[in-house]
Amino acid sequence: MTGAGQASDVFARRPKRADARRNYEALIAAAREVFAEAGAAASLEEVARRAGVGIGTLYRNFPTRRDLFEALYVEEVRELSRSAADLGDLPPWDALVAWLHRFIGYVATKRALAEELVHDSEVFRSCRTEIYTAGEPMMRRAQAAGAVRDDISFDDVVRLLSGLTMAQFPQPEQRDRVLGIALDGLRPPTSR
Amino acid sequence: MTGAGQASDVFARRPKRADARRNYEALIAAAREVFAEAGAAASLEEVARRAGVGIGTLYRNFPTRRDLFEALYVEEVRELSRSAADLGDLPPWDALVAWLHRFIGYVATKRALAEELVHDSEVFRSCRTEIYTAGEPMMRRAQAAGAVRDDISFDDVVRLLSGLTMAQFPQPEQRDRVLGIALDGLRPPTSR
DNA sequence: AAGCTAGCGGAGGGTTGCCTCCGTTTGCAA
DNA sequence: TTGCAAACGGAGGCAACCCTCCGCTAGCTT
């Protein structure tokens, strides 16, 4: 369960001809932009326009709105999951904190997508698995080292921080401070 | 600055004739339901339908979608703000915690609305003031009593918890546990 | 009880977005 | 180079929603 096989079917539909692949990437990029700007209800025609392709091309690649969401989401999760590897040589607590920072950053871009995908999606579920596979060991390690309290689960942490990504933070330093408060809550009573 | 006068202009448009008032209330109630179910982009025609009034009536009462949002939002905030008074005789920390619990409950119902209103709204701003007027003293009191760390602001707390309201919690007890973690983060280093 | 007027409701015109369909283009293999 | 399948793109039909407008209804006042 490395996660590599889990959601690979999503990428199976990735086209092979050069122009097709180019359009596919352009659509993904445009969709990322448009949804970030206008929310999950943004017009698909706008996405196609911004990608510089016809609306027909969009629908061939992503027959439904949800298909587009899923492709976008999977892409994002992949990157996050992969990034856990870089942190192996940090001390347990530092590694966890660093990864959670990335977690917030990644998730923040697409709160709208998640909103849409929560409802029974195979892909969404396997992405969750992928994130947990990446993050849970880091937390266990921190717990084993006594840096994180024992009475909470990784799931608790994810939810606590997911929330933060939704909130609007005009200045990024406030976001960091608030994240700091939340992280203090993870500490065992003695090690503050 | 009791807050009573701040947003009263919003209520100025409240109708006086019996049938009109009835319809107004029905619209508010229907809107609360519909927006909770279908998000902020829900159809206004559906709102009117569910309220059992004509679409014309809806538009007379709330010329724009935003007007409806605002009315809904103000209503919610009012209740929350008022509820702070009940908690005066609890110990500082307990009072704060109790109020924050309510805060979460109230805000959760209308995350979608807030999303829409954040962008430059007079009403939104005065509602914020109202919430802060209700909550900030409770937090100061808790800080004075040494129950909350001194290096954070009420605004930090609001944002930390606002996030939580966005997250989906299948079981309510997990929400409480996660809220507990967040609240632990508010404590001064010594008093855990 | 009778009139006045605030308020009602929904038909309908306009806009926008969704998605299909098919004639045209273009990459790739032989 | 040539042929053919894969891919393109956008016109256009359909559906949903927005919002205005105006003839009708029913509270309130005297």
- In this predicted structure, the answer to whether residue A189 has a pLDDT above a threshold of 50 is yes
Query: B128: exposed, middle or buried (C-beta count within 10 Å: 0-12, 13-18, 19+)?
Result: middle
Asked whether residue A37, judged by its CB, lies under 7 Å from any atom of the DNA or RNA strand C, the reply is no
Q: How far apart, in whole angstroms, are the C-alpha atoms of residue A144 and residue B16? A: 65
DSSP string covering A37-90, please?
Answer: HH-TT--HHHHHHHHTS-HHHHHHH-SSHHHHHHHHHHHHHHHHHHHGGGGTTS
Does the model's pTM come out above 0.85? no
Q: How far is the CA of A54 from the C1' of C21 (A)?
A: 14
Of A40, A33, A27, the C-alpha closest to A66 is A40
User: Higher model confidence: residue A122 or residue A4?
Assistant: A122
pLDDT tens for each residue of B100-134: 988 887 776 566 666 666 666 777 788 888 899 99
- In this predicted structure, the answer to whether residue A192 has a pLDDT above a threshold of 80 is no
Domain boundaries, chain A: 3-191
Nucleotides of D under 7 A from a protein CB: 6-12, 16-22, 26-28
Buried b (16+ CB within 10 A) or exposed e, A127-163: bebbbbebbeebbebbbeeebbbeebebebbbbbbbb
Q: Does domain A3-191 have CATH number 3.20.20.100?
A: no
Q: How far apart, in whole angstroms, are the C-alpha atoms of residue B112 and residue B124? A: 14
Instruction: Tell me if B181 and A181 make a contact (CB, 8 A cut-off).
Output: no
pLDDT tens for each residue of A116-167: 666 667 777 888 898 999 999 999 999 999 999 999 999 999 888 887 777 7
pLDDT tens for each residue of A44-77: 999 999 999 999 999 999 999 989 988 888 888 8
Nucleotides of C under 7 A from a protein CB: 6-12, 16-22, 26-28
Of B71, B77, B81, the C-alpha closest to B29 is B71
